[in-house]
Amino acid sequence: MDSGRAAADALMQVAGPVNPSKGAMLPPITPKSVAGFVAGLVDGFVEENKLDEIEKCFDGAAPLESDLAKILADAKAQDWSAAVEDVMALVQAFPAELATCKSVTPEITAIVTWATAINKATVEKNLLLHHAKIEADVKEVEADYTAGKFMDSGKAAADALILVAGPVNPTLVLQ
């Protein structure tokens, strides 16, 4: 035991003391935070700010809340590919969970159409090509959410997904 302490002392002399980081606690996942995050995703994908509409019609869907919790946990664990997959799962849940949000239906339809057309080869290639930027965007997702900037967090998630899978086709939004 004494030799272990001596080794630890020597390492602290060279590298400095070990200070366990106290990770910031994430704000609770609430209908308001989910609505903000979803509005940020929509805005990031189709450049339409629908926060007011989504806040009015979203009454708290447990699946979206658990999807958002998983996204944030994977971002915190720096599991970038899992975080990206989690956001894609969140997007695919939009039609069922946002069915009462009639004013955002065209945007949701365009996003879901985009999400269902994503292919694994493109994702794998883009994860390699844009890894550093995707990682930075996913870190921003967590940082913005932690800071209570839920819409900005959603926009950062959209930025990461656009790098991974390409842009949403805006012509699908037009009616």
Q: One digit per residue, pLDDT tens: the chain, 175 residues?
A: 454 455 455 444 544 454 444 445 667 788 888 888 888 988 898 887 777 878 777 766 667 778 888 878 887 787 877 877 887 787 778 787 777 777 777 888 888 888 878 877 888 888 889 989 988 998 898 899 989 999 999 999 899 888 988 888 766 544 4
Q: Which helix (H) or strand (E) holds 55?
A: helix 51-57
The amino acid at 116: T
pLDDT digits (tens, 9 = 90+) for 122-160: 888 888 899 899 889 988 988 999 899 999 999 998 998
Burial class (CB in 10 A: 0-12, 13-18, 19+), 16: exposed
Q: How many C-alpha atoms does 116 have within 13 Å on its Cβ side? A: 10
The residues spanned by each domain of the chain are 32-172
